[in-house]
Amino acid sequence: MGKLVLMFAAGMIAVALPGCGTVQSEAESASTDSADEEYPRYEDFICSLDVQRFKQGYPALIKKLDSDDRKERVTALQTIAASGEADAIPVLVPLILNDPDSTIAIWAGSALEKIVASHALRCRDFNRPETVVILPLKDGDLDLRPLAWVIRKMLEKPDDGNTHSYAATMIGYLGLKEFDSDLRKLLQSRHPAVTGSAEYALRLLNDSQ
């Protein structure tokens, strides 16, 4: 299964290379609505990332991700999460949205959430140590807000107690106020992790500038 999944991921990665705006995978085409204003920004963002640099820099990691051993794949995703490498995002998104192994999809979602958090917290206001306040991006900061498209797709998935939690946390860190009503709906989740993340995200949106 691993090789087939990574072949699909490779197809998605091809979309992130120069000229990628002219190509979409079948899965992305099926999920893209003509009225969806978030997708073009997401596609432009993916095109701006250097996924080839990431793949060439971490060949052993990519090999593990292509393994038929779930444990090896999870280990690879944990390593990607710890790396904070934004250039790994094109590898993670197809796993989050389309991997047939729900465990892998969940771990990929966790990795994306940790990458987003690591970048967002670089903009934390350390003059207010009693709370987490994310300051506006400065020149040169990586703008991860186009991930709103991925976050919306994550919210459309069944509530497994993890995926919606990761999505909520990213909404808060990225200051995506357009998801306010979605966060309030998540407060009704039966999963404490989801409701906790939704509450945290709403505080972030309220406190951050």
pLDDT digits (tens, 9 = 90+) for 144-192: 999 999 999 999 999 999 999 999 999 999 999 999 999 999 999 999 9
Q: What is the pLDDT of residues 40-56, one digit of tens each?
A: 999 999 999 999 999 99
Per-residue model confidence as pLDDT tens digits over 76-127: 999 999 999 999 999 999 999 999 999 999 999 999 999 999 999 999 998 8
Q: How distant, in Å, are the alpha carbons of 50, 51, 67 from that of 18?
A: 10, 11, 28
* The model's pTM: 0.84
209 pLDDT tier (thresholds 50, 70, 90): low
Q: Which residues of 16-39 are buried (b: 16+ CB within 10 A; e: fewer)?
A: beeebeeebbeebeebbeeeeebb
Q: Which amino acid type is present at position 122?
A: R
Higher pLDDT, 69 or 35: 69
For residue 4, give every residue at least 6 positions away whose Cβ sits within 8 Å of its Cβ, in sequence order, or none. Answer: none
